[in-house]
Structure formats: C-alpha cells, structure tokens
Amino acid sequence: MEKGFQFLPVSREEMIDRGWYYYDFLVVSADGYIDHPSFGTPLIARLLESEGYRVAFLAQPKWDSAEDFRAMGKPRYGVFIGGGNLDSMVAHYTVAKRRRTRDLYSPRGEMGHRPDRPTIVYANRAREAFPDSPIIIGGLEASLRRFAHYDYWDDDVRRPILFDAPADLLVYGMGEKATVEIARRLSKKEPVGDITDVRGTAFLTPDRDKCHYHNVDCPSYEDVCEDKVAYARATKVQYGEHDPIRGKAILQLCQGRYVVCNPPQRPMNREGLDKIYDLPFVREVHPMYEGGIPAIEEVRFSITHNRGCFGGCNFCALAFHQGRMVTSRSIDSVLAEAELLTHDPEFKGYIHDVGGPSANFRHASCRQQKEHGMCRGKSCLAPEPCKNLDPDHSEYLELLRRMREIPGIKKVFVRSGVRYDYMLQDKKGDFFRELVTHHISGQLKVAPEHCVSSVLDYMGKPHFDVFLKFWKQYQKINEDAGKQQYIVPYLMSSHPGCTLEDAVELAVFLKKTGRRPEQVQDFYPTPGTLSTCMYYTGIDPRTMTEVYVARDPHDKALQRALLQWGRIEKRGQVIEALERTGRTDLIGYGPECLIRPDKGSIYDVPPKKPKTSKEKQKEQHIKDGTPLRRRRDGHKGKMSEKKKAAFAKQRAAKAKKK
C-alpha cells in the first residue's frame, strides 16, 4: 500500500537481493504470509525488524523434512515459531471432529498447507535443522497449552506443550515485550538456558529453584491425568495467578521435570501499541501466492483499537491469552491508520470495523486494578456489574465521530462484539444512540448465548433480563431514528450446565419472539478455558461443585435441533427431545407449539373448534336453570319451583346415564 514498504525476505534469493549474507532471526508461521498487523506472527517479525535485527520469514514450510528450514541458512541468534492466528485444531476440525473443507489462513483457502498442531511439528523440524540454535515458541496455540491440558480431539489430557515441542522458551499472551527482551539478550550472546526470568514466558527445568519469582504449585501432570478434581484445582490456580500485578509464578511437575510459568507481562501501554501499529506493514498477501489468502478480506479495511477483555466469558480463551486488562491505542494512531486506508485503490469508503476482542472496551474496567490487579475469582460484569465499574464510552465515541469526518470515509461500522451489558451501564446513552444511528449496517450482532439463568452463570454471562432490556432500548432508538435494523443473537447449545430442559426453554423463547436461527454454535472445548475444564471434569473450578455436561453426540444433537426446530430435517430430533423432557404439549397445532405432529401420530389431534355464541348461551342457560328462549311477547319469564326441580332431575338422569 505504502511506497517503499516491502515484505520481509522469504527466500535466500530475496536476502541476497537486499545485500544480506547473514540474518539474525528466522520467524516461522503456520499461516500463509499476510503482512498485516492483525496477524500475530508477522507483527512479531516486524517488531524484531524495528529493533534493528535482520529477520527472515518462513510461512507454512513443508513439515515432512527440515529442508525448508535449512533453505535460508542458519540464523545468527535463533528461531521464533508461531502456531497461527487461529488454533490449528479448530481451523482443521468442526466441533463434531469432522475435517473442514477450507482453511481461510492458507493460500486460496485450501486445506493441507499445514499440519495439525504445527507448533510441535515445526519446533521438531527446526531442532533437526539447527540443533544448537535457540528455539522460542509463542502465539495462541502455545499460550493455551502451556500447562497440562485436556485435548478434545484426543479426548485425553496432554502434557504441557514444551514436552512435545523441543523449544527452549515459550512466550505466552501478547508476546511483544517478552520477545524483544529475549532477542536483546540472545544478541548479546547470553545462553538461552540463562534466560529464565522474563515475565510472560515458560520453560522446563528439573530444578524448581531456577524459578526467580514467588511461586505456587499446581497439581502435577500425573495427578490431573488420574483425578479430575485435581484437574479442576489446577485450572483454578492457573486462572487465579494469571494477573500481571498480583500473579505468582506457577510450577507444574511432569515426568520428573517442572514447567515453570513466570508471571504475566504487564500489558503494553498506549505509546507501545501506537508504535507497533505504525510499523511499515505492506498490509497485503505476499505475491508468491496465486489466488491470495481469504483471511485478508475480513481485516483489510478493519482497524483494531484495543486489547484485552474483562468480559469474563468462561468459554472464551481471551482471558487466558490476552488477559483481562484492557489497553487501547491513541485516537490519533487509529485515525492515522484510517486515513492510510483511504489511499488504498480498493477502498470504497467503508471501514468494516473499529474493534477488538470487545469493541466498546477502551480503558481499564476500574481504577483499583491498576494498583491491585484484577479481582481474584470475580467478574467485572456477570452476573451483575461491579459497583466500581467505569462504563464511560466518551473516548470511543470521540474516536468514531472523528473517523466519520475523514475525507473519503462514507461509513464506519462496528462489527466485532459489543458488550451490551457494559453499554447499558453508561447512563448518558450517547454511545448507544450513535451506534444505532451511524455504525450498524442493518443488523447488530450480540451474544446473549442463552436465556436460562443457571446456564448463563456457568457461561459467565449476564442474566437474560439484561438482554431483554437492551433489546427494548435498541428497538426504541431505531423507532425514534426512523430505522429498521435488527438484532442477530449468537446462541450456544450444549454448554456445561445446560440440560435438555434448558434447551427446550430457549427454543420456546425463540418461537415466542419469532426467531429462527439458521446457525447455532455447539460448545467447542478448546484448551485453556474454564468451560473446557467443566466439560472434561464435570466440575466448576470456580466453586469446585458438580456440573451437568452433555457429552454424548446424540444428546448434543438434540439440544442443537431444539434451537432450529423449524428445519424439516430436525423434526425427528425435536420430537424425541420433547418426549424425553415431558414437553409433548409443544407438539400440536396451537400457536405456542414448536412443531406440528406427523399425520396419524398420537399427537395428531385436531384442535377443538371454538364454541359459537349460541352454544355458549345454551350452556349458560343450562347452568343457570333458565329457559332457553324468550317468550314471544318479550317477557323473559321465570320457571316455577316445580319445573326447576323437574329440570334438575332430568339433568341428573342424563349425567348418570353418561
């Protein structure tokens, strides 16, 4: 996009063209090479370059040999390996463990350009190519697997990833600070075995005394394999100490060695984030790929303005990766990127998103956390907002207003997740009104996930009355603005704690409100989340109490079918689910019913016709013991006591006969 910017060298020939006959670091990525700040591994490579190092980039190397790793020669200081923007197993497999047909982070969206668990595979190939070079792994895949973890695809507990990936160090979380410090010390010829004190890193050692920080132990690999209660306790410790202010180092014993996980790095400050996003990214797919890489289209004209998330959803890995502390770029930095996008020949005037993990988080959730860290075992928003919460949206609102004024920009959309519960706490309401008026393209996607309070508590989400309040206000603002815009709610089935009865309740709500979701997300157990711990152990690690889990594929299919009751192919499953829950009253012809019965089935009972006014009048006369017709002269008349007695006797005889 910008004249003079060029891709990092991807071959020895490109290094020679630059006049390089050596280079400092090899950066390996499991994704195709897109030089854009939305992709973690290229961002790390550009950061190393900005520190004065010569960096070569190796994207999706062949993994059946080490030849691609040797092709550019041995780096002077070491190898950094990233597993990709999306967890490789999620990228390759559906929640039903079926192989996907497309990989959006590979050339032309084709499958087969990277292996399963590439961080492990690439680390082994790099060690084969460069036996004595320092190897550092990082990114989402390494971060979420730094401890012993339940692996959904193996349906078993795997060792910490450093036991399978022969690396010297693991960088977890947003790794810029740790990466720069490691690179600086390696360039000074410090042995990688001595670099054990960097925050935000993990390493293996047989000697627990090599830990430089106050530390705590969590149950060992052997313990968590044998005992699910131990697994839940380990998860509780890992989440409890994942805080850059008050967190301690965590030690986990595995097969005679310790994985030592140092405390997290402090989040980058605003100036640091501005510097990163001002690096000379080409913002394009490398031209070596014919047909491009689909993932660029989602971010080409989108801007990330924040990091971190204090939303606290238990099924989301963000808390264990980016952390709960929110930081953001300056308004000037974001506006400079927006202005840069207007010079792209393909730009049509529309910024697709100004967001992040949660678009409307722009600052710390409260003042206290800057000194004391995040509250242990508590959520800022669920089940109710904390009294110390700072819900001010004024800076984000200013950012969007100023962006709308940039020449060449027609519309600025907010499409990444908006936390409606947080937005409702801002009593001014200015942001809510302007969001509806200026920043929605016909529909707003939000994530209530469910309607049953107990399920939402297991998810770490606010109760459903909050969503209903938001929905009501959203409709009113649209009416006042003369707009017809809709809510698209994200829903999840089979989350731990969700029973078949709970799924019926959600289906009834959807029917009542006229919602017919085409897509429903089954809960996907990924490493490093509290919900995955619940799925594997049947224990809520926050309270150490038992929780119901739908693990059987058929049970999960029934829950999903209930939320899509209107689809013909789901009829049999919906009927089975309603029978199992004793809710066959929802099979029928009434307006409250979810599904109509099959003809000739036991539920195929035609609805009773409503009684006519004459029939109702007749019943009332019989009940009152009055004559059925008026006299011709208009006099209503009254029965004598004798006739009343005879009439009552007649009714009693008929009743007895029946």
Specify the DSSP element, H or E, that contains 100: none
Q: Determine contact, residues 501/578, Cβ cutoff 8 Å.
A: no
Residue 583 in 3-state DSSP? coil
CA distance 493 to 450: 8
Q: Is residue 463 part of a domain?
A: no
Question: What's the confidence (pLDDT) of residue 597?
Answer: 87
Q: Which of 72, 36, 77, 19 is nearest to 53 (CA)?
A: 77
CA distance 119 to 538: 29
On the question of pLDDT at 557 being above 90, the answer is yes
Question: What's the confidence (pLDDT) of residue 518?
Answer: 67
Q: Is residue 269 part of a domain?
A: no
Quick one: tokens of 59? 């994207």
On the question of pLDDT at 644 being above 80, the answer is no
CA distance 395 to 360: 10
Q: Long-range CB contacts (< 8 A, 24+ apart) of 190-193? A: 192/78, 192/134, 192/168, 193/168
How much is the mean pLDDT over the chain?
92
Residue 408 amino acid letter: G
Question: What's the confidence (pLDDT) of residue 626?
Answer: 67
Residues 6+ apart with CB under 8 A from 593: 585, 586, 587
Q: Is residue 597 part of a domain?
A: no
Query: 207 pLDDT band (50/70/90 cuts)?
Result: very high
Query: 608 pLDDT band (50/70/90 cuts)?
Result: low
Neighbours of 160 (CB within 10 A): 23
For residue 258, list its beta bridge partners.
205, 253
Q: Which of 154, 99, 82, 225 is nearest to 525 (CA)?
A: 154
Question: What's the confidence (pLDDT) of residue 645?
Answer: 78
Using a 10 angstrom Cβ sphere, with 0-12 exposed, 13-18 middle and 19 or more buried, the burial of residue 325 is buried
Q: Determine contact, residues 202/162, Cβ cutoff 8 Å.
A: yes
CA distance 487 to 440: 10
Tens of pLDDT, residues 289-320 = 999 999 999 999 999 999 999 998 999 998 89
CA distance 276 to 644: 96
Percentage, residues of the chain above pLDDT 90: 82
Instruction: Provide mean pLDDT across the span 521-546.
Output: 96
Domain containing 624 equals 614-630+637-657
Instruction: Provide mean pLDDT across the span 576-585.
Output: 94
Question: What's the confidence (pLDDT) of residue 629?
Answer: 58
Question: What's the confidence (pLDDT) of residue 627?
Answer: 62
Q: Which of 334-348, 380-394, 643-657 is least confident?
A: 643-657
Q: Determine contact, residues 531/314, Cβ cutoff 8 Å.
A: yes
Residues 6+ apart with CB under 8 A from 430: 393, 394, 397
Quick one: tokens of 22? 């050596």
Q: Which of 525, 532, 527 is nearest to 142 (CA)?
A: 527
Q: Which of 502, 417, 505 is nearest to 458 (CA)?
A: 502
Question: What's the confidence (pLDDT) of residue 319?
Answer: 87
Neighbours of 422 (CB within 10 A): 21
Tens of pLDDT, residues 468-493 = 999 999 999 999 999 999 998 899 99
Specify the DSSP element, H or E, that contains 593: none
Q: Is residue 172 part of a domain?
A: yes
Neighbours of 472 (CB within 10 A): 10
Query: 633 pLDDT band (50/70/90 cuts)?
Result: very low
On the question of pLDDT at 151 being above 50, the answer is yes
Domain CATH code at residue 18: 3.40.50.2300
On the question of pLDDT at 636 being above 70, the answer is no
CA distance 153 to 149: 12
Cα–Cα distances (Å) from 145 to 111, 119, 157, 425, 633, in that order, read 23, 11, 11, 35, 94
Quick one: tokens of 640? 């004598």
Picking from 198, 232, 262, the residue at the C-terminal end of a domain is 198
CA distance 20 to 633: 118
Phi, psi of 206 (to 5 degrees): -80, -10
Quick one: tokens of 27? 């950066």
Q: Determine contact, residues 29/114, Cβ cutoff 8 Å.
A: no
Q: Which of 164-178, 289-303, 428-442, 596-610 is least confident?
A: 596-610
CA distance 577 to 599: 19
Tens of pLDDT, residues 244-269 = 999 999 999 999 999 999 999 999 99
Q: Which of 74, 1, 23, 13 is nearest to 288 (CA)?
A: 13
Q: Determine contact, residues 389/375, Cβ cutoff 8 Å.
A: no
Q: Which of 238, 79, 158, 87 is nearest to 536 (CA)?
A: 158
Instruction: Provide mean pLDDT across the span 153-174.
Output: 97
Instruction: Provide mean pLDDT across the span 30-39.
Output: 96
Q: Is residue 99 part of a domain?
A: yes
Tens of pLDDT, residues 414-431 = 988 899 999 999 999 999
Q: Is residue 264 part of a domain?
A: no
Using a 10 angstrom Cβ sphere, with 0-12 exposed, 13-18 middle and 19 or more buried, the burial of residue 615 is exposed
Q: Determine contact, residues 111/101, Cβ cutoff 8 Å.
A: yes
Q: Is residue 48 part of a domain?
A: yes
- Supply the DSSP symbol for 396: H
Q: What are the E-state strand segments in 531-647?
A: 539-540, 545-546
Question: What's the confidence (pLDDT) of residue 456?
Answer: 97
Q: Which of 50, 42, 124 is nearest to 84 (CA)?
A: 42
CA distance 518 to 508: 16
Picking from 198, 218, 242, the residue at the C-terminal end of a domain is 198
Q: Is 265 left (phi over 0), alpha (psi -120 to 50) or beta?
A: beta
Question: What's the confidence (pLDDT) of residue 600?
Answer: 78
Using a 10 angstrom Cβ sphere, with 0-12 exposed, 13-18 middle and 19 or more buried, the burial of residue 328 is buried
On the question of pLDDT at 452 being above 80, the answer is yes
As a whole number of Å, the CA-based R_g of the chain is: 31
Specify the DSSP element, H or E, that contains 135: strand 135-138
Query: 607 pLDDT band (50/70/90 cuts)?
Result: low
Q: Is residue 102 part of a domain?
A: yes
**β-pairing verdict for 149-151 and 156-158:** antiparallel
Instruction: Provide mean pLDDT across the span 109-114.
Output: 96
Q: What are the E-state strand segments in 154-200?
A: 156-158, 169-171
CA distance 558 to 391: 39
Quick one: tokens of 359? 């678009």
On the question of pLDDT at 391 being above 60, the answer is yes
Counting the structural domains of the chain, the total is: 2
Question: What's the confidence (pLDDT) of residue 631?
Answer: 47
CA distance 291 to 299: 17
Cα–Cα distances (Å) from 160 to 225, 240, 291, in that order, read 12, 19, 37
Global pTM reads 0.89
Dmax (CA) of the chain: 123
Instruction: Provide mean pLDDT across the span 564-592.
Output: 92
CA distance 553 to 73: 49
Tens of pLDDT, residues 493-519 = 999 999 999 999 999 999 988 877 767
Please give the angle made by the CA atoms of 646, 650 and 656, to the nearest 5 degrees. 145
Query: 159 pLDDT band (50/70/90 cuts)?
Result: very high
At what angle are helices 430-438 and 464-481 packed, to 10 degrees? 60
Picking from 164, 198, 232, the residue at the C-terminal end of a domain is 198
Higher pLDDT, 111 or 599: 111
